Amino acid sequence: MPDFVVGNFTSTEEILGPSSQPGATISVAEGEKVIDMDPVIKKLDPDSTQFTTMSTRASARITTREKANWLEEQYVNNVFTTTAGYTAGAATVTVSAADAASILPNDIIRNMRTGEALLIGSVNTGTGALTIAQTSVGSVANAAGNSGDKLLFIGSAFPQGASLPNMKYSQRVLGYNFTQIFRTVWNFSLTATSIELYGGNEPAKEGARKAVEHKRELEENGFFGARDFYATAQDPQGAAGGLIEFIVTNKQNVNGELTSDFLDQFLATVLAKGTSDKVMFTGTIGAYYISRFNRSGQGAFWRPGRDNVHGVQVDGFISGVFGYEIPVVVKKEWANTPSGAAGYNGNLFVVDMNNIEKRPLRDRATKMLTNRQNPGDDRYAAEYLTEQTWEIAVEKSHGLLYGIA
């Protein structure tokens, strides 16, 4: 029987009486009151997988096996480094054996520090010893050389009636990466899928969240993946390498504050190779220093903007030192990691998008696979599955600053 209460006013605490079950109580929230619940569930971290989106829009080709290969080439080397000092007028100059392979008799090389030009008589490709046929070619007198001097090839000078010389040939380099299988699963009892929930029911609600998590997994692999392959004593298992695994040449430790001069010198090196289609991806600490350039009176160096580049809204543009601007994408999720040398929030990548390709295995591009539960299970299971790798070619066209703090 309901309780009857006589009074002039009913407070919110008096809407419900005691439970009819012996010894049980019922809260107001679970009873007659309708809960005021916002149907939109707030997200701590928004979807921020810009690199994956850009690489998909820029170029994506299938691979037909678990190892993707590509060939890289460059022109014959024309800058050489001495490995030992030499006296003025010396008959022999020594470079590395690798450099010597790009030098032939009758080549003229100029020491860029002293200005002296030298005519090559013969080359020992085993030791790197260059026999000099003529010193002081041109107007600059004989000068002593130091170890580490840079020598520039300024052309060949053959005698009249000379025989056909040997060919200079730059071998192509094989690049490779392995496919990696990414799987992101969600699994609910059928009872759970039948319950009415705020913000939508399961499994659809969790499926939407898992789509973002799966894409984020691909994103982190693109930057920080480790390349390897295991085929013994187990089923074959591949791991796709990311940018951090490939970039070797243009990789510098900032070891603290990022200054505009440091960044400019770094960009001058990176932008000299590859194409002009470069994009900068930086952690929040790198973005902090770049934004300070603008407040320090260097407004032309940094231009905030919300333009679309390769289908992604970027955060601004920075001077490219060669007369064009570089789009900047701030990777806010890297703020979850430490800055400096201890974490990846102190990283700043400059990526040549023309030398990056996403390479899904044939018929293994990202798919949502449903009804993955075992037969007879009173549950629903699904997953996102991707098998892919990255083609990160011409590593000298990309760059990485780390240790920004």
Query: What DSSP letter does each residue of 30-87 carry, written as one string?
Result: GTTSPP---SSPP-SS----HHHHHHHHH-B--BSSSEEEEEE--PPP-EEEBSS-B-
Q: Catalogue all structural domains in the chain, each as residue range(s) with its CATH number.
A: 44-73+175-405 (3.90.1690), 79-156 (2.40.10)
- Model confidence at 11, pLDDT cuts 50, 70, 90, reads very low
Residues 319 and 88: beta-carbon distance below 8 Å: no
Q: Read off the pLDDT band of 73 (50, 70, 90).
A: confident
Q: Is 336 helix (H, G, I), strand (E, B) or coil?
A: helix
Reported as a pLDDT band with limits 50, 70 and 90, residue 35 is low
Indicate yes or no: pTM above 0.75: yes
H helix intervals, 233-325: 243-246, 260-270, 284-295
Beta pairing class for 278-282 and 348-352: antiparallel
pLDDT band with cut points at 50, 70 and 90 for residue 28: very low
With a cut of 80, say whether residue 26 has pLDDT above it. no
Residue 43 confidence class, pLDDT cut points 50, 70, 90: low
pLDDT class of 307 with cuts at 50, 70, 90: low
Decide: residue 55, CB within 10 A, 0-12 exposed, 13-18 middle, 19+ buried: buried
CA distance 173 to 193: 54
